[in-house]
Amino acid sequence: MKNCIVAQSGGPTSVINASAMGVFKANEELHYFDNVYAGINGIEGILNENIINLSHIDSEVINRLIYTPSSGLGSCRYKLKTYEDNKEEYIKLFEIFKKHEIDTFFYIGGNDSMDTVHKLSNYAKEHNLPVKFFGVPKTIDNDLPVMDHTPGFGSAAKFISTIALENKLDASVYTAKNVFVIEAMGRDTGWLAASSCIATLNGEPVVDLIYLPEVAFDEAKFLKDVAKKLEEKNSVIVVVSEGIRTADGTFLGEMGGTGLDKFGHAQLGGVCSYIKNVITENGVCKKVRAIELSTMQRCAMHFASQTDIDEAFNCGFAALKYSAEGESGYMIGIKRVSNAPYKSETFAVHTSKVANSIKYFPKEWINEEGNNVTKEAYEYTLPLIMGEPKIQYENGLPKYAFITK
């Protein structure tokens, strides 16, 4: 018996299930493994032997999962220590792999999860253990190095831009001046906030000001920017990244400095409300709305990008295919082959190049004022949002799959 196991880790996306199902469907076609198991709640769940057999799941549920947002297999924010720091954990994990005759492990996640793949792959090689490890990328943050973009980003970008566009219309109804502050996710990087540059109305950009973590936030300069825009127009749309920080590195959206996840990352969110207060308290504008997109931007499958769904699926599919011949410790990445017409392909990259490292939004794509992005950002993002999925509806709502764990 030769089995594989797939698990999901980190924050969900609209398309992370498409990647898991890509692994599963590839095996249906290629028959490399006798069973495709799923670890529920990532590595944390596997350590608790919370494992199901995907091969036993109804094909209708499997097909529906491709069009279901969030991590259908559950997730975790679990920092795997080094072997030296927690030998028991490694020994236990490989005992569980042996018991379930696991030959290959596919981990779908971001840069922290690729660190897990890297550590486990090295450990197996050093101890001559017959288990191979492969990474499948995901994150709406789009901050994985080496690859062009990550699965999850295109759908989030499509959602954020649509919200900006629709709110622009809502903001334009009164004669009184107003400011809408929309907050996008992105702990370390501004890719998501910057993606709002693709929203246009009558050929003009909808978003007036964009603030990214890559540029130190200066409150006085920000107030001047908003006041200047309000002189030119009645409604001003501002998009901020949850990760914006002052020159000394303090996050504007940090929750009292105590909210850390298991990776030690600050739990962000709510920066738009802070900024709303900054605008009103300084008398720049009386009517200000704060719109925190929060989890909505990563689970809005009803408005996902078909391009993103396809690429997420392809990454999972390619990982399984690659596992037959490829060396353990690699992740599948996406390469942009051409922009117009848009074409991408997958490739393999060693997880050491991805683990714990961050791809920042390019400095040369930020305008001189540091309050917007250039046309390169527009051209980069636009192809990634193309295509709308044909979601099935029931009682007027999307019909999603849910695996009872």
Q: Kindly write out the interface string for residues 257-276 of this chain, putting x where it contacts ligand F6P by CB under 6 A and - elsewhere.
A: ----x------x--------
**Which of 4, 6, 8, 10 is in the footprint of ligand F6P by CB under 6 A?**
10
Which stretch in 36-44, 60-68, 95-103, 138-146 sits in contact with ligand F6P by CB under 6 A?
Answer: 138-146
**Residue of 47, 39, 55, 151 whose CA lies nearest to 104:** 39
Q: Which two tokens stand for residue 269?
A: 């969110």
67 Rama sector, left if φ>0, alpha if ψ -120 to 50, beta otherwise: alpha
Instruction: State the DSSP H helix or E strand holding residue 240, giving kind and residue range, or none if neither.
Output: strand 235-241
Give bridge partners of residue 134 from the DSSP assignment: 106, 330
Map tokens 């720049």 to a residue.
Answer: 284
Smallest separation (angstroms) from ligand F6P to the CB of 210: 16
178-184 and 235-241 as β-strands: parallel, antiparallel, unpaired? parallel
Task: Select 11 or 389, whichever has its Cβ closest to ligand F6P.
Answer: 11
Cis, bond preceding 341 (omega within 30 deg of 0): yes
Give bridge partners of residue 361 from the DSSP assignment: none
Q: Kindly write out the interface string for residues 95-124 of this chain, putting x where it contacts ligand F6P by CB under 6 A and - elsewhere.
A: ---------------x--------------
Q: Does 373 interact with ligand F6P (rule: CB under 6 A)?
A: no
* 111 in a known ligand binding site: yes
Cβ 113 vs Cβ 135: under 8 Å: yes
Catalytic residue among 112, 115, 141, 208: 141
- Report how many residues bind ligand F6P under the rule CB under 6 A: 13
- Give me Rg for the CA atoms of the chain: 22
How many C-alpha atoms does 130 have within 13 Å on its Cβ side? 8
Phi–psi pair at 7, nearest 5 degrees: -145, 160
Contacts 24+ apart (CB under 8 A), 164-169: 164/196, 164/199, 164/206, 164/207, 164/237, 164/239, 165/199, 165/200, 165/201, 165/206, 167/237, 167/291, 168/199, 168/201, 168/206, 168/235, 168/237, 169/201
Q: Kindly write out the interface string for residues 176-215 of this chain, putting x where it contacts ligand F6P by CB under 6 A and - elsewhere.
A: ---------xxx----------------------------
E-assigned strands of 110-177?
Answer: 132-137
Smallest separation (angstroms) from ligand F6P to the CB of 318: 22
Smallest separation (angstroms) from ligand F6P to the CB of 271: 11
* 139 in a known ligand binding site: yes
Task: Select 3 or 297, whichever has its Cβ closest to ligand F6P.
Answer: 297
* 298 in a known ligand binding site: no
**Which of 9, 14, 104, 139 is in the footprint of ligand F6P by CB under 6 A?**
139
Catalytic annotation on 141?
yes
* 77 in a known ligand binding site: no
Smallest separation (angstroms) from ligand F6P to the CB of 189: 9
Q: Which residue is nearest to ligand F6P (CB)?
A: 11
Smallest separation (angstroms) from ligand F6P to the CB of 140: 5
Smallest separation (angstroms) from ligand F6P to the CB of 175: 37
E-assigned strands of 72-155?
Answer: 102-109, 132-137
**Which of 5, 6, 11, 299 is in the footprint of ligand F6P by CB under 6 A?**
11
Q: Which residues belong to the annotated binding site?
A: 11, 111, 139-141, 185-187, 242
Which sequence positions are flagged as catalytic? 141
Q: Which residues belong to the annotated binding site for Mg(2+)?
A: 111
Interface residues with ligand F6P (CB under 6 A) are: 10-11, 77, 110, 139-141, 185-187, 261, 268, 298
